[in-house]
Amino acid sequence: MSKVLTNKLLGIFGGTFDPIHNGHLNPVIEAAKEIGINQVILIPCHIPPHKEQPSTAPKLRLKMVELACEHNPLFSVDDRELKKNSHSYTIETLKSLRADYPEKSLCFFMGSDAFSKLNSWHKWRELMDYAHIIVCQRDSRNVVLSAEIEGLLKKFRTKNNRELLDKNHGYIFEAATSELEVSSTDVRDKIKSGETWAQHVPESVYNFITTHRLYQ
Ligand code: ATP
């Protein structure tokens, strides 16, 4: 696809990022390349609806996200969820992004584990009215899809990345990304137990965590 066309695609990737790790970054980089997306906004969430409140202060999680992507022009960081002192519902974030970028095809990235639980998200059926969903592979052997999610896939799946340009929302694209077995929980646990963990995060994030003695 030409650059002019791909500029219409805007990637969005949200997470707790406590801390951000290579399992967040690498699949999104691969999927963006596969599809032809050249801009992805990373959005750290404030209060995740499905998890406990992260123990790491929002400004530290934000800083790590900024460090992780400072040398990669694919990424930029958006702190709109951190500015709201309430639950970070993706539907609200997508509505505000749609207002900011009325012309863009919004491509919302998620790991396949998160996608398999999409039907537990607030107003989940409405998400497709605001964005496409790009699914990256994560622990795919163990991901079980409910009938509701199978139905969603049947209705909205496309295997053709060009279709993501035809409409600015409403398709699901399953990217052929490599699987990276790492989670923020793993990184936090390894730091606590003194195991090696540097290989799971960008060097700048490693330096920040060690300097500030996070997750000890
Ligand atoms: P935690 O261990 O604290 O629950 P996490 O590592 O699962 O965190 P989140 O910040 O909750 O990370 O995840 C945000 C998004 O990143 C989700 O869509 C999730 O599926 C995706 N993701 C996280 N780790 C991976 C991975 N290793 N491979 C692919 N996607 C991932």
Q: Residue 161 pLDDT > 70, yes or no?
A: yes
How many other C-beta atoms can be found within 10 angstroms of the C-beta atom of residue 195?
Answer: 10
> How high does pLDDT run on average in the chain?
94
Residue 37 Cα to ligand 1 midpoint, Å, equals: 20
127 class by beta-carbon count within 10 Å (0-12 exposed, 13-18 middle, 19+ buried) = buried
| Residue ranges around ligand 1 (CB below 6 Å) | 15-18, 23-24, 27, 110-111, 113-114, 136, 138, 180, 182-185
SS3 216: coil
What atom in ligand 1 is closest to the CA of residue 13?
15
d(CA 151, CA 10): 26
| Percentage of residues of the chain with pLDDT beyond 90 | 88
Q: Which of 5-14, 160-169, 184-193, 196-205 has the lowest mean pLDDT?
A: 5-14
Q: Which of 39 and 86 is assigned the larger pLDDT? A: 39
How many other C-beta atoms can be found within 10 angstroms of the C-beta atom of residue 134?
Answer: 30
DSSP 8-state class, residue 54: P
Q: 163-175: per-residue pLDDT in tens?
A: 999 999 999 999 9
Going by CA atoms, what residue is nearest to atom 27 of ligand 1?
A: 23
| Percentage of residues of the chain with pLDDT beyond 70 | 97
Confidence of residue 127 (pLDDT cuts 50, 70, 90): very high
pLDDT at 3: 63
What atom in ligand 1 is closest to the CA of residue 183?
6
pLDDT at 140: 85
Residue 100 Cα to ligand 1 midpoint, Å, equals: 26
Going by CA atoms, what residue is nearest to atom 30 of ligand 1?
A: 111
DSSP 8-state class, residue 87: B
d(CA 56, CA 214): 8
What atom in ligand 1 is closest to the CA of residue 139?
28
pTM, 2 dp? 0.95
Pair 55, 215: CB distance under 8 Å = no
Q: 73-114: per-residue pLDDT in tens?
A: 999 999 999 999 888 899 999 999 999 999 999 999 999 999
What atom in ligand 1 is closest to the CA of residue 112?
20
Pair 116, 146: CB distance under 8 Å = yes
Pair 18, 56: CB distance under 8 Å = yes
Residue 54 Cα to ligand 1 midpoint, Å, equals: 14
CB within 8 A of 200, min separation 6: which ones?
A: 21, 22, 23, 182, 186, 187, 190
pLDDT at 117: 95
Phi-psi region of 47 (alpha: psi -120 to 50; beta: other; left: phi over 0): beta
Q: In 3D, which of 6, 7, 16, 4 has the Cα closest to residue 42? A: 16
What value, to the nearest 5°, has the Cα angle with vertex 131 and ends 47 and 20? 40
pLDDT at 5: 62
